[in-house]
């Protein structure tokens, strides 16, 4: 704390003192931070339980970085780099077993569009928003670390130490609350627009593709659930991670609303000079009958429409990574990714970076892939007029980055924005030349089933 005080005096700005220690890996990181977060306080959870219990969860805000506009990813990366120069913490080299995301990290996300999230329901979600949390817990592979970070004003070491002590005392192992199986109020489900609006949008998109204006576009729709009671995100997140252990189960909130979801799609993961991502496009439903389920997967793998849609995404990602990489390699053919309610075509892609491009900048280079945007990229400008909605953070990026500029971001899919007693659910489909409006509408209904049963 004293060293941070000295640094704050020298540079004339706040410094940050951080300490990391080992905790029991049996502790539930998400339940712990959500139980300890104060009313209205920001919190962040990102888990992939099937990946050796991977979790990075946080609460509080020692400092926040917000940006908007086309360069928001690059600007946020630069802001975080400058702040990192004023963060004094433990040397990671002294703890080689620590999981990814341990130590001081910036957590948050990015809207789909450069100025996205301007409508009232998205209040509190900036186009780009990362925070250095006061508390973060990282866990994976039987290892867990808790990090405490506080801002230190010049001459304010004692006050900062007192705040750190109060924060540490507020932390206790917790369990997630359960969903109410029989709520008194009966939820009401309605579309933000009529289903025919979505089918008309698909028809117009197909006409634009036939006219050569674009090759592919992703169109989303919104469904609203009014529950008649304040929605607690904690049991919803708990249900998502139980049902979708191989997805990124995420929850970002605290400013009057919460974004929650279970995404199958990695946008980017950077670990030193190594980068990983996945081209995910092409979807079909699941079946409780194993034989039928396998048949549906075989149909998806053999579908010219879906394979073409998938190839568009993979090619764009490879082209985007090539200028900053020594090499980029993609799987020769897509694989099937099966989650609770749907199965997808996915092509894993890896790259060896030629220079240390920050994880946030890599996310900005890749976002939006044609899996959520359009091909060519310029055709993305047609999406708002076709959809008629503000995506906000839907199909944006959610994740974290550390002081080494490593990090991990997923695409914010299969999500709901919870505000009071209303949930805004979003789902989209990739539209190509031979898309059929009724079939695309039906696909959105299948995707909505990730969250709809938990809220309605």
For each successive 10 residues of the chain (456 residues), what is the average pLDDT? 78 91 95 93 97 97 97 98 94 90 98 95 97 97 96 84 84 89 80 93 96 95 94 96 96 94 97 96 91 94 90 94 97 92 94 96 96 94 94 98 98 97 95 94 93 91
Cα–Cα distance for residue pair 114/120, rounded to 1 Å: 17
pTM for this model (two decimals): 0.95
Which residues have CB under 8 Å from 324's CB, separation 6+? 351, 353, 354, 355, 357, 362, 365
Q: Where are the beta strands (DSSP E) in 84-243?
A: 87-88, 105-110, 128-132, 135-140, 143-152, 188-191, 216-226
What are the backbone dihedrals phi and psi of residue 400, each rounded to the nearest 5 degrees, phi first? -150, 160
pLDDT for res 254: 81
Cα–Cα distance for residue pair 113/425, rounded to 1 Å: 18
pLDDT for res 156: 81
Cross-strand pairs, 131: 64, 107
pLDDT for res 210: 96
pLDDT for res 165: 85
pLDDT for res 159: 83
pLDDT for res 155: 84
Nearest to 426 by CA among 452, 404, 406: 452
Nearest to 447 by CA among 339, 320, 350: 339
For residue 298, what are its two tokens?
């075989």
For residue 73, what are its two tokens?
């990813």
Active site residues: 216, 265
pLDDT for res 424: 97
Cα–Cα distance for residue pair 19/229, rounded to 1 Å: 39
Question: How many C-alpha atoms does 321 have within 13 Å on its Cβ side?
Answer: 32
pLDDT for res 66: 97
């Amino acid at each position: 704390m004293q060293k941070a005080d000295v640094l704050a005096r020298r540079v004339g700005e706040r410094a940050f003192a951080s300490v990391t220690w080992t905790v029991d890996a049996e502790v539930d990181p998400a339940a712990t931070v959500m139980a300890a977060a104060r009313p209205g306080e920001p919190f962040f959870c990102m888990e992939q339980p099937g990946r050796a219990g991977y979790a990075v969860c946080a609460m509080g805000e020692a400092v926040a970085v917000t940006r908007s506009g086309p360069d928001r990813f690059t600007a946020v990366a630069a802001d975080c780099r400058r702040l990192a120069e004023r963060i004094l913490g433990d040397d990671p080299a002294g703890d080689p077993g620590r999981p990814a995301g341990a130590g001081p990290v910036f957590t948050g996300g990015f809207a789909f569009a450069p100025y996205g999230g301007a409508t009232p329901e998205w209040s509190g979600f900036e186009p780009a928003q990362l925070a250095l949390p006061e508390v973060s817990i990282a866990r994976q592979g039987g290892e867990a670390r808790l990090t405490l970070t506080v801002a230190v004003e010049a001459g304010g070491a004692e006050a900062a130490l007192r705040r750190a002590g109060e924060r540490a005392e507020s932390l206790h192992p917790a369990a997630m609350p359960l969903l109410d199986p029989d709520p008194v109020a009966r939820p009401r489900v309605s579309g933000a627009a009529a289903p025919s609006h979505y089918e008309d949008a698909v028809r117009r998109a197909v006409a634009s593709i036939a006219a050569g204006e674009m090759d592919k576009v992703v169109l989303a729709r919104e469904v609203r659930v009014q529950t008649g009671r304040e929605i607690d995100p904690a049991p919803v997140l708990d249900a998502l991670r139980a049902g979708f252990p191989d997805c990124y189960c995420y929850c970002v909130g605290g400013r009057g609303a919460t974004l929650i979801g279970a995404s199958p799609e990695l946008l980017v993961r950077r670990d030193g000079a190594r980068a990983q991502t996945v081209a995910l496009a092409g979807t079909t439903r699941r079946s409780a009958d194993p034989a039928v389920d396998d048949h549906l997967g075989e149909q998806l793998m053999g579908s010219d429409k879906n394979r073409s849609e998938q190839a568009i995404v993979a090619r764009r990602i490879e082209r985007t990574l090539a200028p900053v990489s020594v090499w980029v390699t993609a799987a020769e053919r897509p694989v099937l990714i099966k989650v609770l309610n749907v199965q997808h075509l996915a092509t894993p892609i890896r790259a060896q970076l030629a220079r240390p491009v920050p994880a946030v900048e890599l996310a900005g280079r890749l976002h939006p892939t044609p899996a959520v945007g359009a091909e060519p990229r310029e055709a993305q400008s047609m999406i708002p007029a076709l959809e008629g909605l503000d995506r906000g953070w839907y199909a944006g990026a959610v994740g974290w980055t550390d002081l080494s500029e490593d990090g991990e971001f997923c695409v914010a899919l299969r999500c709901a924005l919870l505000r009071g007693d209303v949930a805004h659910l979003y789902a989209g489909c990739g539209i190509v030349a031979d898309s059929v409006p009724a079939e695309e509408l039906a696909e959105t209904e299948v995707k909505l089933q990730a969250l709809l049963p938990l809220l309605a």
